[in-house]
Amino acid sequence: MTPPKNVITLVDKLRKDIGEHDYRYYVLAEPTISDAQYNRMMRELIELEARYPELMSPDSPTQRVSGEPTKEFPTVLHEVPMLSLSNAYNDDEVRDFDRRVRSFLPRQPFRYVCELKFDGVAIRLQYRDGILNIGATRGDGTYGDEITSNLKTIRSIPLRLQTSERNLQNIEVRGEVYMEKKDFERLNKERERTGEKPFANPRNATAGTLKLQDPKIVSRRPLRFSAFYLRSESTELASHYENLSILRTIKIPVNEHLRLCETIDDALAYWQEWSMRREDLPYEIDGVVIKVDSLRQRSILGAIAKSPRWATALKFSARQAETKLMGIRLQVGRIGTVTPVADLEPVSLGGTIVSRATLHNADYIGSLDIRVNDRVIVEKGGDVIPKISAVVKEKRSPGTKPFRMPSKCPECGSKLYRPKGEANYFCENSQCPAQIKGRIEHFASRGAMDIEGLGGAVIEQLLEERIVKNYGDLYDLKEHAERLASLERWGEKSVENLLRSIEMSKKQPFHRLLYAIGIRHVGSGIAQLFARHFRSIEELRSASVEDLVHTEGIGPEIAESVVRFLSDKKNLEILGRLRKTGLMLAAKATREKAPLAGKTFVLTGALTRFTREEAKRLIEEQGGSVVSSVSSRTDFVIVGEEAGSKRDKAKKMGIRVLDENQFLELLDKP
């Protein structure tokens, strides 16, 4: 049914008005209508689009939360690399930067633009015909993750540009996604209320949110956006300062505190001003950024390694405060790492109250001679994690004693072990209460057994109810289905989904299980190496440290860790239970003549026929292996859309490059 003209006009008006009110609320913080009025407009638009589906468009405000959760983010190429910035920490280093700029621009006048350096996550937005079509993370600067669905949920990011100028219809915008302090505190309180682990700081909360696979969850997180870059594909732009003004004009948020500086002294004054005023801001900053304004002069200056010569980050000195060390306690991590933590007399630091700080390890405590009841200097290392950086020894009370690391685990009483050449102590009891939750969480994680629906809060609930005691118990959960369904936040459907996911995890290959069981130093890559050379847990268990070290890529630390883990009776007991439930404690036999047996592959670009995980699994099931970089040992490079440097390197080295169709043909060969 063709929509009447008055409906088309109304839909266009509603979209435009909602976009305007989003801008006023989320960017200007100056709303002009009530929440109820806004909600009525949104409901009316949703109803009209449902009645006339042909009016639906990707730039509609109703599409901010759309699509199903994804298993994996596609990789996208940044046409212009997203370079990282060099850092300066004092006046001399800033003036050195200025001298280098002048040496490349002799007798040329130039000016700087200074901006606040948000402590957030850098992202790139690509608009085509005025509509947002790609949003991506910085990644390694050349390739990033495509997270468009997540970024569409941020209401300060326009889905359609508010401009009719043709040269601004196809543009690239870059900026920082961040979280304000008050929103971060509210989010953490909510997480603590629901039994989830609080985030360490706003940046971690932002980064963790952008990595979520479900945009519906992302939409509930209070993320904001501030732009610092504009590139037009149809016209040459001249000035960075003017570009930021253009962005403001088309209603893309730009920080209000930027400043045009004629000299390096002006830039230094800006830096010093904000080092004093940073606590007044509603968000975290860790410095300021100084950039040459002229884009033509930037092209002359160029870049070195992965940093531009035309910009630098002027970092703030760490925030410091003096307080009293009340005690030192030991914190046991997922794989048994024992970390000393300082309990402090609460002190204000950077606008927050700090009562704990990391002490790293026993050697760190010894090097500073830190003692209980000392007056200490606490600072935010890297402006994020509090640490003790010094002892005020002239204020030390008589009778204090040097710290001595205890010999037993504070959680389970097992003997602590310190590997030769390492700074950390470890509790090697995998049944240690402090390790169980983290070990189950790791076992169920995406890169391991990939058990959906088994997040931290669920695991904690299962442990509290004493339904599970370790990851081996997960495969007996079907016996507790009725009890699970009766628990808070559960139901028959959610239990059914979890049990189905647990059952599906039995199909995971041997190397995934080897990674999942949580052997210290054995990441996913090392697990694959072991699985290729030792075809079962039995083979691995019967190998000595010397046997393991002879495996290419395996050093003494890894070998000793594997031998110790597979010598532990409790670990072997759990592995025996896993075998009985049908998990793969041995690699599938591969045909010696299979085309992929013993071959090494690199995946690059955005694959369209399957996800990278699926392609990787297909390769590994036929005896091949997947690595991240191209080398003389690479046999094939599989390329998707926007494949770049890895494809070019493979061609130069004479390595066979396959598109997805050719890869499928290779899989089908007898």
- Beta-carbon count within 10 A of 129 CB: 10
Residue 23: which of 117, 147, 127, 159 has the closest Cα?
Answer: 159
Question: How far is Cα 523 from Cα 519, in angstroms, rounded to an integer?
Answer: 8
Residue 400, amino acid: T
CA torsion angle 152 154 156 158 (round to 10): 0
Residue pointed to by tokens 């509930």: 220
Whose CA is closest to 203, among 104, 138, 286? 286
**Distance (Å, rounded) from C-alpha 199 to C-alpha 208?**
9
SS3 20: helix
Distance CA 60, CA 46 (A): 10
Question: Cα–Cα distances in Å, from 655 out to 150, 602, 627, 635, 640?
Answer: 37, 11, 14, 6, 16
Are 378 and 347 in contact by the 8 Å Cβ rule? The answer is: yes
Give the amino acid at 48.
Answer: L
Closest-CA residue to 143 (of 610, 629, 525, 528):
629
Of 580, 550, 330, 554, residue with least CA distance to 432 = 330
| 553 alpha-carbon distance from chain centroid | 27
Closest-CA residue to 222 (of 255, 176, 184): 184
For residues 399, 402, 403 and 406, what is the CA-based torsion angle, rounded to 10 degrees?
A: -90
Could you tell me how far CA 314 lies from the centroid of its own chain? Answer: 24
Rounded to whole angstroms, the Cα distance separating 372 from 404 reads 11
Helices 433-444 and 456-464 pack at an angle, to 10 degrees, of: 140
- CA torsion, points 34, 40, 41, 44, in degrees to nearest 10? 180
Q: Which residues of 388-410 are buried (b: 16+ CB within 10 A; e: fewer)?
A: beebeeeeeeeeeeebebeeebe
Count of CB atoms situated within 10 Å of the CB of 615: 20
Positions marked active-site: 117
What stretches of 328-432 show up as alpha helix (H) in DSSP?
362-368
Tokens 């015909």 sit at which residue?
A: 129
Measured distance CA(61)–CA(42) in Å, rounded: 8
What is the three-class DSSP state of 86? Answer: strand
Q: What stretch of H or E contains 619?
A: helix 612-621
H-type alpha helices, 230-310 = 240-249, 264-277, 295-301
Total count of residues recorded for the chain: 670
- 339 DSSP 8-state letter: E
